[in-house]
Amino acid sequence: MNNHSQKWALARSLGRRAFFQAALGTAVVGVGSAVQEDEPGRERNCQSYRESLETPIVARHQVVVAGGGPSGVIAAVAAARSGADTLLLERYGFLGGNGTAGLMTCYNGFRNQRPPEALQTVKGIPAEYIAELVRLGGVADSTNYELTLPHDVRRGDLPYAIPFDAEVAKVASLHLVKKEGVKLRLHSWVVAPMLDSTRVTGVIVESKSGRQAIAADIVIDCTGDGDVAAAFGAPFMSPATSGDRMAMTLMYRLGGSPSTVKGSFDGVRKGDQVVRWGPAVDGDGLNVETLTEAEVHARLEIWDEIQVMQRKSGMGSLYLALTATVIGVRETRRIAGEYVVTERDATEGRRFPDVVAISSNPFPDYHGRRYFLRHEGFDIPYRSLVPKRVGGLVLSGRCISCDQAPFQSARSMAPAMAVGHASGCAAALAATHGIPPRELDVKILQKLLVSQKAELRL
């Protein structure tokens, strides 16, 4: 085992032990104790602070969705529409995740980017969300993604990519969750699961109101990084130290784009505003020091790039209108589920009897190139949403169980919304019928999804 693997194994071991102790009320050392441990032959230079906590349970819900990104918003709407009392938790003061906080203002993967692309693989509640974006005037004018065939977004015929306005997306998300009666808690960071033996029974959140517990029959992990599952101690796959991890990117918005510059201006354009891809930074998106360095490096580099751009002929009107709230992290953990979607499954377009979503997005960085599927999409089975050894929890978004290649496809926001639709319906069925997610009848889940106009190719 290399040093990288040893560190992950140690972190998982310590995290699980700490959470079980907290859940069982076991005091390691009284609150306020500073503990210093020695290793034989080494100086005393490693310190830890141990505490025991008693956290008030402030709410109970049938379904709690941890994370309000594209997948989390759709999951919460689906759970509420399917009859469950649903709470959506989000760490920022708005919804939308990497689409809004990260300014990744293009929803990719509603169908294959190149022929064969006759099938729109993402429909149902995600398509309703796009319809709301259209109604609010939130679809942007152009994007730099190549599209091979025409589609009419305003009639619900969605192309591969939908460029959008991040501010309108925040409003559209709120309209969707309010319409379905989803309860909402913003400014709430999910820091741990509540546990009962091998089952998640809720989540612990930190906010300006302090540390609070929220009980749930079923929790959906839409944190992107699989934080709830990993904190429990669920096994997960993580990127190699080098070679296959997708880079982080800080997006930014230019204002004052001159009329002489036509088209997308290498980004997503609406009027004279263009959202562009900023510096790409490699590194571990779970390490706060790495994230800090990446943010600082990227923001300073963007500033320098724009100074150079403004000095070019005809570009004097350009200015930096906005940088993303947070650098866009693409890849961290993939939680090991009852089934791991393989590279071969994705490249061959394998079909599964327990399909709950379809991903038709290309692999952006497959062995150094963009790989376009030679079919209309690969199935995502329900088993890849059910984590091993963990009860009461459903996976969603980019942390579902798959190899790195299919991950590159399914992590994009359109297929992630389709997965959110499936996870929300599954959680609602499990909660309202008192069934563990692992034992859910997939045929009933599929019937519910199809009734909500999801595309499953059944």
Identity of residue 365: D
Name the packing angle between helices 70-81 and 413-433 (round to 10°): 30
- Shared domain check, 162 and 105: yes
- Specify if 157 maps to a domain: yes
Contacts of 79 (CB under 8 A, 6+ apart): 62, 63, 65, 86, 182, 220, 424, 425, 427, 428, 431
> What CATH number is given to the structural domain containing 417?
3.50.50
Per residue of the chain (458 residues), give pLDDT as tens.
Answer: 444 444 334 344 444 434 333 443 332 323 344 444 444 444 456 689 988 889 999 999 999 999 999 999 999 999 999 999 999 999 999 999 999 999 999 999 999 999 999 999 999 999 999 999 999 999 999 998 888 788 999 899 999 999 999 999 999 999 999 999 999 999 999 999 999 999 999 999 999 999 999 999 999 999 999 999 999 999 999 876 545 789 999 999 999 999 899 899 999 999 999 999 999 999 999 999 999 999 999 999 999 999 999 999 999 999 999 999 999 999 999 999 999 999 999 999 999 999 999 999 999 989 889 999 999 999 999 999 999 999 999 999 999 999 999 999 999 999 999 999 999 999 999 999 999 999 999 999 999 999 999 999 99
Tens digit of pLDDT for each residue in 5-52? 443 343 444 444 343 334 433 323 233 444 444 444 444 566 899 888
- Shared domain check, 431 and 360: yes
Name the packing angle between helices 166-179 and 124-135 (round to 10°): 120
- Specify if 14 maps to a domain: no
Helical H runs in 29-114? 70-81
- Torsion angle (degrees, nearest 10) of CA 378, 119, 427, 72: 90
From the CB of residue 305, how many other CB atoms can be counted at a distance below 10 Å? 15
Q: Closest by alpha carbon to 217, among 59, 16, 89?
A: 59
- Shared domain check, 373 and 340: yes
From the CB of residue 75, how many other CB atoms can be counted at a distance below 10 Å? 38
- Specify if 303 maps to a domain: yes
- Specify if 212 maps to a domain: no
249: left (phi over 0), alpha (psi -120 to 50) or beta: beta
- Shared domain check, 409 and 351: yes
Tens digit of pLDDT for each residue in 113-150? 999 999 999 999 999 999 999 999 999 999 988 887 88
- Shared domain check, 312 and 337: no
- Shared domain check, 270 and 391: no
- Shared domain check, 365 and 319: no
Can you give the pLDDT at residue 20? 37
Given 273, 296, 323, the domain boundary residue is 323
- Specify if 7 maps to a domain: no
- Shared domain check, 283 and 351: no
β-bridge partners, 214: 59, 203
- Shared domain check, 289 and 155: no
Tens digit of pLDDT for each residue in 354-378? 999 999 999 998 988 999 999 999 9
228/221 Cα distance (integer angstroms): 6
Q: How many CA atoms lie within 13 A of 298 on its CB side?
A: 27
Instruction: Specify the long-range contacts of residues 151-156, CB closer than 8 Å, at least 24 apart.
Output: 156/127, 156/130, 156/131
In the sheet that holds 267-270, the strands lie side by side as 142-143, 267-270, 273-281, 248-255, 319-323
- Specify if 196 maps to a domain: no
Contacts of 48 (CB under 8 A, 6+ apart): 34, 35, 36, 37
From the CB of residue 447, how many other CB atoms can be counted at a distance below 10 Å? 13
- Shared domain check, 282 and 340: no
- Shared domain check, 226 and 257: no
Cα-trace Rg, the chain: 22
Residues spanned by the domain of 183: 59-187+220-242+331-451
- Shared domain check, 383 and 285: no
Name the packing angle between helices 166-179 and 70-81 (round to 10°): 20
Given 299, 323, 347, the domain boundary residue is 323
Given 323, 354, 389, the domain boundary residue is 323
68/96 Cα distance (integer angstroms): 6
Contact 205, 189 (CB under 8 A): yes
Can you give the pLDDT at residue 27? 28
Name the packing angle between helices 413-433 and 442-451 (round to 10°): 120
Identity of residue 252: Y
- Specify if 64 maps to a domain: yes
- Specify if 133 maps to a domain: yes
Contact 340, 402 (CB under 8 A): yes
What is the domain count for the chain? 2
Collapsing DSSP to helix, strand or coil, 419 comes out as helix
